[in-house]
Amino acid sequence: MITADTTLGEVTEEGLLRSIFPFFTPQPGLLVGPGDDAAVVASSGAVIATTDTMVRGRDWLDEWSSAADVGVKLLTQNLADVAAMGGVGTSVLVTLVADPATPVAWARAFARSVGEGAADAGVAVAGGDLSSAPAGVLLVSITALGDLQGRPAVLRSGARPGDVVAVCGTLGRSAAGLLLLQRGEGAMGQAGAGRREWAGSRDGGMRKLCLAHHRAPVAPLAAGPAAAAAGATAMLDVSDGLLRDGSRIAAASGVRLDLSNAALAPDIETLATAVGEGAARECVLAGGEEHSLLATFPAARLPDSWRAIGTVSDGTGITLDGEPQQPRGWDHFRQEPDTDD
Amino acid sequence: MITADTTLGEVTEEGLLRSIFPFFTPQPGLLVGPGDDAAVVASSGAVIATTDTMVRGRDWLDEWSSAADVGVKLLTQNLADVAAMGGVGTSVLVTLVADPATPVAWARAFARSVGEGAADAGVAVAGGDLSSAPAGVLLVSITALGDLQGRPAVLRSGARPGDVVAVCGTLGRSAAGLLLLQRGEGAMGQAGAGRREWAGSRDGGMRKLCLAHHRAPVAPLAAGPAAAAAGATAMLDVSDGLLRDGSRIAAASGVRLDLSNAALAPDIETLATAVGEGAARECVLAGGEEHSLLATFPAARLPDSWRAIGTVSDGTGITLDGEPQQPRGWDHFRQEPDTDD
């Protein structure tokens, strides 16, 4: 019998799987689900595929994020990559590599969260893998598959001079949420009390939104295929910061992105109520893990729910009101913020 | 500059990727390769998807397996799952989660091995993920995608009374190789000398084959789609042992598998020259990580390169010359051999 204290080392793999599979809602496109050598997923002719891993201690801290938060975040960052190609997610494979001392309850809460998030997005949990890890290690990985529905993929390389640069979704909230956690606000243990306290204050609502977006981000997934249908020329999701990710579109397309301070001012102003003006500006320009969509469109074609933040010109790099910007962001193995080399 | 001592923590992610991408040979079905938010792979209408992870210390030891060995083994176990559905591998996503103190040389040798193995199989390396891990941790993961070429998938559940049970590929070699390593034969440091010594002896050839199959198994990948085309009714790859995997076909199909000692005798006899008679028998019946294919066929249809080892009957479970067998195998979190519950 599984109790609150049961660890993964105390149950069989098959027992664990039996307790997890009910969290996964079948979807029409899943032709063969978990339990065989491999899954089989329907496809309209071109499959989008991407994979992302989260490691405890590097990508989340148990003090700040619940198992359910980790499930949402991992799913979102994978499905945002599918959306950024202009595709619709169809299925995910989920991997858990865990110290056998990990509570079964953590694994079940994570699986439930992934299952519910996937079902909300119409995505099937098609399979996965379980492995034991050295003491203290816990990591989770998802591979997401998607479908282009007959359209060509929207790459990073298609931006053309004269295009509009536009964003769908928030900017800087995840980074602001992390900053609040680093300042000691909103840790798991005190979250309930903290949240109640903020609710009465002017800036409490925004702090809550930032903390929520850092822990369990929501991405505008449907806006990806809609942008593709509307003629987006280049697209990606903001995972490493607006300046760094914008520079990637510029480099891949052989163009310059000119962003406008005035267009970003509302984002900074809103965020400033939570973290202050200076931090808000840095979060909007360089904050990662946001998973909003950044795209370029022919001028006449900006779809609903996108807002223009700049234009595409001949040249290289990225500017803000004409000032060249140095992309800032994260390098995985160096374990600290780093500039592009 | 990268030297033999350079670690992952001393290079940028982009620098590492630049040095690895040349190992990956483009393939016709890869429509969008590494470098965008996600890859795009051509599909004929149904995508096979599977994922497997290997963790250092659990799935391999550096004393016994090189980075190139790990690359081959990880690729083989994923592509064997695709083949076991009756499909042809199209692409893989490759994940490396590594302590920053890991030598760059290890990562490059691993990537080169995966790239070469994939190219040999006509499979594209479509993308992947890099993450840093806690001290001492090194793990690699592959998601493989495949194509059914318009055929239905061959499941575990299609075996029918009267079918022939057949194997394509070796049995027990990987387990025998592991046994030799556990006995102190064939460790990396002494491998060269050891291999020369054996070459002159009667059983040296088989020992070498077992060590090689444990470290870097080769699976009969083309036999999977060929079996599907020939009408195989059920199929899987032998990853957890003949008895355990055979029991899975029996359970999924609602039938009994009756294996024949006489049919398995040549496998046991061959292996006995390397590890002795008793161990050879156990390796053939319960040895995992072999990645040969086990399938059932209507009696008249056994394709070339498959050998009959039994028949399918009404009933449940698995027998050997009529004696019911208890499936034995591996449970991931318990870290020790376990029986099915």
Which of A38, A57, A338 has its CB closest to that of B134?
Answer: A57
Which of B93, B100, B340 has its CB closest to that of A49?
Answer: B93
Structural domain boundaries, residue A19: 8-147
Q: Enumerate the β-bridge partners of residue A331.
A: A336
Say whether both B196 and B108 belong to one domain. no
Distance CA B137, CA B54 (A): 11
User: Model confidence over B102-139: pLDDT tens digits?
Assistant: 999 999 999 999 999 999 999 999 999 999 999 999 99
Q: Which of A147, A173, A204 is where one domain is finished?
A: A147
Distances (CA, A) of B87 to A194, A271, A306, B84, B232: 54, 51, 41, 7, 12
Torsions phi, psi for B172 (to 5 deg): 80, -5
Say whether both B211 and B174 belong to one domain. yes
Residues of chain A with Cβ-Cβ distance to B13 below 8 Å are 331-333
Determine the residue among B13, B16, B36 to mutate to test chain A binding: the one whose Cβ has the most chain A Cβ atoms within 10 Å. Answer: B36
Question: Letter for the amino acid at A113?
Answer: S
- Assigned token pair, B37: 């938010």
What confidence score (pLDDT) does residue B186 get?
Answer: 72
Residue A97 CB burial class (10 angstroms; 0-12, 13-18, ≥19): buried
Which of A39, A126, A334 has its CB closest to that of B9?
Answer: A334
- Give the 3-state secondary structure of residue B271: helix
Average pLDDT, chain B: 92
- Give the 3-state secondary structure of residue B58: coil
Please give the average per-residue pLDDT across B14-33, as a whole number: 94
The count of structural domains within chain A is: 2
Contacts (Cβ under 8 Å, ≥6 apart) of B341: A12, A14, A15
Half-sphere exposure of A203 (CA within 13 A, CB side): 15
Q: Which residue of A has its CA nearest to B10?
A: A334
| Secondary structure tally for chain B: helices H, strands E | 10, 15
Q: Helices in B50-190 by DSSP H: which ranges?
A: 67-84, 104-120, 173-182
- Cβ A239 vs Cβ A245: under 8 Å: yes
Please, what is the angle between helix B191-199 and helix B204-215, to 10°?
A: 140
CATH number, position A310: 3.90.650.10
Q: Is residue B153 a part of any domain in this protein?
A: no
Please give the average per-residue pLDDT across B259-269, as a whole number: 98
Q: Is residue B14 a part of any domain in this protein?
A: yes
Say whether both B168 and B260 belong to one domain. yes
Q: Which of B147, B175, B201 is where one domain is finished?
A: B147
Say whether both A171 and A111 belong to one domain. no
B2 touches A at CB < 8 Å: no
With CB atoms and an 8 Å threshold, state whether A156 touches B51.
no
For residues A28-48, one letter each, b for 16 or more C-beta atoms within 10 angstroms of the residue's C-beta and e for the rest, the string is ebbbbbbebbbbbbbbeebbb
Half-sphere exposure of B274 (CA within 13 A, CB side): 32
Q: Is residue B79 a part of any domain in this protein?
A: yes
Q: Is residue B203 a part of any domain in this protein?
A: yes
- Assigned token pair, B150: 């318009």
Interface list for B 270-329 with A (CB within 8 A): none
Say whether both B169 and B143 belong to one domain. no
Sign of CA dihedral B55, B58, B60, B62: positive
Neighbours of B260 (CB within 10 A): 16
Say whether both B134 and B279 belong to one domain. no
Q: Which residue of A has its CA nearest to B49?
A: A39
Say whether both B128 and B206 belong to one domain. no
Say whether both B326 and B207 belong to one domain. yes
- Cβ A136 vs Cβ B134: under 8 Å: yes
End-to-end CA distance of chain B: 54
A247 touches B at CB < 8 Å: no
What confidence score (pLDDT) does residue A4 get?
Answer: 81
Determine the residue among A47, A59, A145 to mutate to test chain B binding: the one whose Cβ has the most chain B Cβ atoms within 10 Å. Answer: A47
Please determine, for residue B89, whether its predicted confidence score (pLDDT) is greater than 70.
yes
Say whether both B176 and B227 belong to one domain. yes
Distance CA A27, CA A48 (A): 18
Say whether both A181 and A61 belong to one domain. no
Q: How far is A106 from chain B (nearest CA, A)?
A: 15
In Å, the largest CA–CA distance within chain B is: 65
User: Model confidence over B128-169: pLDDT tens digits?
Assistant: 999 999 999 999 999 999 999 999 999 999 999 999 999 999
Q: Is residue A33 a part of any domain in this protein?
A: yes
A46 touches B at CB < 8 Å: yes
pTM: 0.92
Q: Which of B147, B182, B211 is where one domain is finished?
A: B147
What confidence score (pLDDT) does residue B331 get?
Answer: 52
The segment with the largest mean pLDDT, out of B178-187, B201-210, B287-296, is B287-296
Contacts (Cβ under 8 Å, ≥6 apart) of A158: A233, A234, A253, A296
Q: Is residue B157 a part of any domain in this protein?
A: no
Say whether both A221 and A332 belong to one domain. yes
Distance CA A251, CA A253 (A): 6
Please give the average per-residue pLDDT across B308-328, as a whole number: 95
Q: How far is B235 from chain A (nearest CA, A)?
A: 9
Q: Is residue A159 a part of any domain in this protein?
A: no
- Interface confidence, given as ipTM, is 0.92
What confidence score (pLDDT) does residue A299 get?
Answer: 84
Please give the average per-residue pLDDT across B234-239, as a whole number: 98
CATH number, position B25: 3.30.1330.10
With CB atoms and an 8 Å threshold, state whether A38 touches B16.
no
Say whether both B183 and B277 belong to one domain. yes
Distances (CA, A) of B90 to A38, B66, B120, B126, B157: 14, 26, 12, 9, 25
Q: Is residue A199 a part of any domain in this protein?
A: yes
Mean pLDDT by 10 residues, chain A (341 residues): 88 92 95 95 96 97 97 98 98 98 97 98 97 96 97 98 98 97 73 43 84 97 97 97 97 98 97 96 97 94 93 98 83 47 35
User: Model confidence over A271-322: pLDDT tens digits?
Assistant: 999 999 999 999 999 999 999 999 999 987 799 999 999 999 999 999 999 9
- Cβ B295 vs Cβ B199: under 8 Å: no
With CB atoms and an 8 Å threshold, state whether A43 touches B47.
yes
